[in-house]
Amino acid sequence: MSPAAKLAGFATALAVLFGAGAAAGGLIDADAPGGSATAEPPAHGMGASESGDAMAQASMVRGLSVADSGVRLVVEDAELRRGKTEQLRFRIVDDRGQAVRDFDVEHTKRMHLIVARRDLGTFQHLHPEMGADGTWTTSLRLPDAGSYRVFADFSRDEKPITLAGDLRVDGDAALAPLPAPATSAKSDGGYDVRLDSGSARAGRESELRFSVSRDGRPVEVEPYLGADGHLVALRDGDLAFLHVHPTDHGERGSIGFESTFPTTGQYRLFLQFKHEGRVHTVAFTEEVK
């Protein structure tokens, strides 16, 4: 091949590479917020392995937006009265505004509704009922003023989705700082709970194991939502919703989960377990490095 032909082929290859780079760059929104619930294209200089890890981590984070995967959360009335039990109504609608009615059963329910105040000082896990028109309804009482985040957690076509919106309760809100990390806490029913998470590292799978006891004796927890317990992890600041997986049944009084914390920082863990027919809740602060 002549030198001129070689130069022409080299120029053509460069043009193809630059064109591909420009096309990829056009998929990235420079003004997009930093906390995105969806995976972004690989960053410049990121290898295939790193890119895969980043996308896997992003898939563990949900609940940062009101719409995702072609559906949207619509809350009927986001203004609630303090200390009053009211009916919260919402719908999941498609891109045509039509109510969605087909949901998978996940953790024995078709819809899980999580309500947490912005300072993560309060937490509720509810199971609303869906009417014939696709409207979900549940009773909700918020005793304190402030801004709340509501998460609709469900699955469609075997794809887990978490949509989030805001609720407001008028009045002076006495916001509290996040409690310091600790390895032990007491549940709302007076049970002693210990957390063993090792040294949680961002981007790595971590085992979260909780030990439940009462009066110094391990408690044999009862099945709750198809597992030994249910865990919700929320990231401090943007309240990103982390997906966690329950592990196999452990020793008496032991409840295990696996999760990947996508970033460093503090997370609030809300564990729920069942004993003597009642569901109990306990919260921990986890520092991820």
Q: What is the pLDDT of residues 138-185, one digit of tens each?
A: 999 999 999 999 999 999 999 999 999 999 999 988 889 999 999 999
Among 113, 116, 115, 136, CA closest to 126: 113
Alpha-carbon dihedral sign for residues 83, 93, 30, 263 = positive
Pick the CATH number of 67-169 from 1.20.1600.10, 3.40.50.300, 3.60.15.10, 2.60.40.10: 2.60.40.10
CATH superfamily of 184-288: Domain of unknown function DUF4426 (2.60.40.3340)
Residue 11 has pLDDT above 60, yes or no: no
* Domain locations in the chain as residue ranges: 3-61, 67-169, 184-288
- Dihedral Cα 152, 154, 160, 162, nearest 10 deg: 0
Listed in sequence order, the residues at least 6 apart from 34 whose beta carbon sits closer than 8 Å to its beta carbon are none
C-alpha–C-alpha distance, residues 235 and 175, integer Å: 17
pLDDT in tens, 242-283: 988 898 776 787 999 999 999 999 999 999 999 999 999 999
Entry pTM: 0.80
Q: Which residue matches tokens 């306990």?
A: 282
Q: Identify the CA nearest to 175 among candidates 235, 236, 113.
A: 236
Read off the tokens for 131. 């009417």
Cα 173 from Cα 121, distance rounded (Å):
11
Residue 53 DSSP one-character state: H
Fold agreement between 67-169 and 184-288: yes
Check if the beta carbon of residue 57 is closer than 8 Å to that of residue 260. yes
Taking Cα atoms as reference points, which of 239, 85, 65 lies closest to residue 147?
239
Q: Which residues contact 177 (CB under 8 A, 6 or more apart)?
A: 119
Distance between CA atoms of residues 159 and 275, nearest Å: 31
Q: Please report which confidence band the pLDDT of residue 59 belongs to, taking 50, 70 and 90 as the band edges.
A: low
pLDDT in tens, 215-244: 999 999 999 999 999 999 999 999 999 988
